[in-house]
Amino acid sequence: MRVQKVWRPAAAALGAVALSLGLLVSPALADVPSDDDIEDAQDAVDDTAAQIAALEVRLAANAAARDESQMAAAIAAEKYNQAAVERDQAQADADAAADAAAQADDDVAAASRDVARIANAAYRNGGELQQIGIFLSADGLDDAIESATTFRMLGGDADEAYQRLDAAERVADVMQTRADQALADAEAAAADLEEASREADAAALTAENVVADNEAERDSLIVELAALRNTTAELEEERQNALDAERRERENAAAAAAIGAPATEREDDRDESGSGQSDSGRSESDQSASPDPAPSPDPRPSPEPQPEPEPEPSPEPEPSPEPQPEPDPEPEPEPEPEPQPDPPSTPASAGQGAVNWAMTQVGDRYVLGARGPDAWDCSSLTQAAYRSVGIHLPRTSGDQYRATANVPIGQIRPGDLIFYSSNGRASGVYHVAMYAGNGMRVHAGNPSTGVQYTSMWWANVLPMAGRP
């Protein structure tokens, strides 16, 4: 009986504990996410990732649009410069044609005076006035020749005077026609220049607007990305800047490899160009050092002059006919391949001098068509830099490419000109920069950068540089 009494309270206690535990556990079991909850959460994550990817694609697209707009502006600027050159040339041709026409008119007047002088002389001599009248009334040289009798009476002076007058009139007509055409060409070239100026201004404005719009959109995109990644806008901007730098570095490296651009380390050695000279210098010093030890052993073999039989083989005169193969100088045409080194006809010092001058302009403004002294465009800067060392270059980037010696990009040195092309050919050249050594360049980039000293950008660079 006692046992039953003890068990009942114990069972009651255990039941209470179990009930309390059930109350504690059941709510926790109710909070366990269902499969639908998990799927919704995964969808949210995927959606966030997709939004992030889309935003980053827009950032990359904005960067590409910026580059394209700037290239379009540079192409328009090159067209403007070419139009300016053509306008100047057309105006010069028009002026020269006008001068030639004026000179032809003067020649006609002089020939007319000669004919009048002869007519007056004939009148004074009497009897020949009628013949002079016949001569002057002739429709042309053929008609005058038919009146040979009259010509013979007038004499050689009248014949020559009339021929000069006829020739002068013909020349005057041709010169006037040319002058009229040259003037029309000059006016057309001026109109083309105005159109090119409008297009260049529009392209430059478009580029500026694209850059401004992209910067504004970039800021808003970075804020969105920061919210999606639960970070700050500052950290997200740093991240995007790093990603952009990595992307451009990959693009630059790929472009450099495609055209065989040299590594910076190799450029250092090449720029100094001391290796080749020092090698030759060392060889000379070695040669000078080698004879020093040579004389010391020479006294020992001095008794050995007994092998004078070596001079006895007078057959040495036989080698004298060997100089007869002096036709060997005929192979001197081999220097004909030397025209390849002819590109470096310009001393390296001239190229470095051009670089040094251009560096003094760093910080100057970029202005379309400007020619200094405080504002430049890309080709006027390189033109002035080489003018400073006594070398003439044409005005435009395209003409500078055609006027300089081609040098493989892998062999460039300071002062060589780097050309950017929109189609990979000379016909597409739109910008020129000057290689400054060590993977750097100096150039007048655009209105936002001005003249700057900056690292090389190899995209769109032609595989041949230009050496003035």
User: Which residues participate in catalysis according to the annotation?
Assistant: 378, 431, 443
Strand partners, 467: 405
The span from the CA of 191 to the CA of 83, in Å, is 9
CA distance 10 to 18: 12
Distance CA 121, CA 123 (A): 5
What's the Rg (C-alpha) of the chain? 44
Decide: residue 254, CB within 10 A, 0-12 exposed, 13-18 middle, 19+ buried: exposed
DSSP alpha helix (H) spans, 366-467: 378-387, 397-403
Please state, in angstroms and rounded to a whole number, the distance separating the CA atoms of residues 440 and 414: 9
Ramachandran bin of 134, using left for φ above 0, alpha for ψ from -120 to 50, beta for the remaining angles: alpha
Sequence-ordered list of residues with C-beta below 8 angstroms from that of 406, at least 6 positions apart, any chain: 343, 464, 465, 466, 467
DSSP one-letter string for 66-80: HHHHHHHHHHHHHHH
* Closest to 159 measured CA to CA, from 176, 193, 135, 186: 135
Helix (H, G, I), strand (E, B) or coil at 407: strand
Tell me which residue of 189, 205, 18 sits closest to 93, measured CA to CA: 189
Closest residue by Cα to residue 420 from 410, 407, 408, 433 = 433
Q: How far apart are CA 400 and CA 413, in angstroms?
A: 17
Q: Which of 147, 146, 67, 143 shows the shortest CA–CA distance to 431?
A: 67
What's the maximum distance between 2 C-alpha atoms anywhere in the chain?
Answer: 187
Beta bridge partners of 314: none
